[in-house]
Chains A and B, each alone.
Chain A
Amino acid sequence: MWIFLLADALSFAGLLLAYGILRSGAAVWRHPGEPPLGINFTAGLTFLLICSSVTMVLAYAAATEGKRTQTAAWLALTALGGTLFLAGQFHEYFGIWGPGLSKEGLVFGQSAYASTFYSITSFHGAHVFSGTLYILVILARWLQGKTDAAHVEILGLFWHFVDLVWILVFTFVYLIP
């Protein structure tokens, strides 16, 4: 898993590097008519992902102690955190309870600002999606007694990596003015 995560980290590094070079070399980054990114809402999503990392380590701690029901409950909560994060990202893009960025004028392909935003955040979103599926598969196998604490630890590595990358994406894409 570590070897995979290092390769995956380099994929994110490539995207963030391209973002940094494009942004620092651009005379105008956000063109008139393009909306700013919502910092407060995304800070909420960041907090949600941090909470889901905690539920994941608690699942692992319970798994090492052989507490099967507790492990299943923490894993289910972690999957819920991932699902809510994805719902939040869908709302940010397309709008569920209000207009999303795509309706407010942030259109993929229209500018480097828009394209790098969608490329980086959707690549991360794909990781949250696959991570949530991974959790659900391990949860199902855990309930059937077909997996052990070592598998939960490896799953945790992937999930924490998704959290760690988001911490960097949140800073570089959303926070840095």
Chain B
Amino acid sequence: MSHASRKQYLQVFLALALLTALEVGVVYLPAIGKGPMVLALVGLAVTKAALVGLFFMHLRYETRIMRLTVAIPLATPAIYAVVLIAEATLRVVP
């Protein structure tokens, strides 16, 4: 099975370093509201995690069934989190 080349590994490293700097930059942006900031931070984190999984953990070069075996169990708690956190936020305390 073919894997990423050294050049690709270094490109992913640069992307990860850049995205980390961007994350810190987003936190210090004074004008951005809380909602867009949270969305931007979660988007950046998911992008970084996907880069690590796809290239460093070689999921990009695995079979489709292997990728689904990993993606489905990981997506489930994420959906569960959205529902439960929304419920905790919107809960009306009598």
Contact = CB atoms under 8 A, between A and B. Distances in A.
A59 B54 CA distance: 18
Contacts of B85: 20-21, 24
B contact patch SS: helix
Interface string B59-94: 000000010011001100110110011001101000
A1 to B, nearest CB: 10
Contact of A50 (B13, B44, B55): B13
A54 B10 contact: yes
A61 B84 CA distance: 42
Interface size range of chain A in the complex? 35 or more
B53 A164 contact: yes
Interface stretch (A82-90, A136-144, A165-173): A165-173
Interface string B8-51: 01100100110011011011000000100110011011001100
Given A14-B77, A164-B53, A167-B48, 16 more contacts: A20-B81, A25-B89, A25-B91, A43-B21, A47-B17, A47-B20, A50-B13, A50-B16, A58-B9, A153-B58, A160-B56, A161-B57, A163-B52, A164-B57, A171-B44, A175-B23
